[in-house]
Amino acid sequence: MARGAVEARLPACARVVGPVVSVHRREGEVRTDQEWQVVGKTTAAATDRLVEHPRSTHGYDVPEVIVSPITRGNPAYLSWLDEETA
């Protein structure tokens, strides 16, 4: 999923973290599952396209997708994000 998103220029970079253990309620029962977290680094302009990507490629009916805005950063890095997601 991470590689496909980067190939589609949705994030400039995707960091895969894990495996992690997730404890959650699903279908009425508490479950413990092994998961991997993917952090996609993108621009505001590309956010909607990136949010849609896991919804069409992930095995969960409702994959977790959370957006954290970038409010400041290294100007050269932010420029790189713009270039890579254009």
Domains and CATH numbers, the chain: 2-85 (3.30.70.120)
CB 41, CB 13: distance < 8 Å: yes
Q: Is the pTM of this model over 0.85?
A: no
CB 48 within 8 A of CB 3: no
pLDDT band at 60 (very low <50, low <70, confident <90, very high): confident
Across 11-15, 21-25, 61-65, 71-75, least confident range: 61-65
Dump pLDDT digits (tens) for 16-59. 999 999 999 988 999 999 999 999 999 999 999 999 998 888 87
**Phi (first) and psi of residue 16, to 5 degrees:** -100, 120
